[in-house]
Amino acid sequence: MTVLLVSRSATHHGGHDAIHRLAAATAEATGLPVRACFLDGAAPSLHAALEAVPDHDEVLLVAVHVPPDRYLDTWIRRAVAHWRTTCARPVRIAVTTPLATQNALVTAIAEAIAGQHTELTGNPGPFRSPAWSQITRHHRHVLICRGPRCTAYGANEVAATLGTRLHEHRLDDDILVTPTGCLFPCNLGPLVVVHPDDIWYEQVDAELAVRIADEHLRDGAPVDAQQPRRS
């Protein structure tokens, strides 16, 4: 049996690393193969993790969230159902009850209360740092949908390819790239939107991401002369 810890995207890489460390610690404690994956916004995606599971294996999903997250529970089921339509391999998939309902969570909190404490002190200056008071000098703002459906369709690879290409072109200061949640026309994903041009790119893959970076963001010509959405 393979165990997959499924999380939503964290706001920073340290959060993603924590899920991977939790998977490694769980594997050591149980003797089972345990891996971390993400429903949206980070790699590896749940789809990619399922693809890596051997044929005829059983998969147990553990939704890593406290308190219960209805969004995560719902989209895990939808993502698994979609994966089954794209892969005919015989893999049995089940999901545990939410962590928030486990009695061991109470034990963990009690141990934290009884354990070591660190007093919070420090300078509040960084909370209002001038560094966070300047709008960046970007010429274009690129939105990359990292919602659960776009992630299932390959948004992680699109984001990585676009970021690498922009760095190669030294456009990091000129182009502000922002990962987003759902942009709504999910069946057209992965979606990449370029503002202020109001150009929406549909079903973007790594090859199209390279063209967006080269032709549109570097050279200023939308791919295939695509017109603004409201033209």
Domains of the chain with bracketed CATH: 2-101 (3.40.50.1400), 134-225 (3.40.30.10)
Residue 139 token pair: 């010429």
Bridging pattern class, strands 2-7 and 140-145: unpaired
Distances 167 to 13, 97, 107, 177, 180 between C-alpha atoms, Å? 19, 43, 47, 11, 20
pLDDT tens-digit map of 72-82: 889 999 999 99
Query: The pTM is what?
Result: 0.82
Residue 18 token pair: 């924590």
Residue 162 token pair: 């676009």
Q: What is the pLDDT of residue 11?
A: 67
Distance, in Å, from the CA atom of 229 to the CA atom of 6, rounded to the nearest integer, reads 35
pLDDT > 80? residue 60: yes
pLDDT tens-digit map of 119-148: 988 887 777 778 778 888 899 999 999 999
Helix (H) or strand (E) segment spanning residue 211: helix 206-211
Bridging pattern class, strands 58-63 and 2-7: parallel
Residue 180 token pair: 């987003």
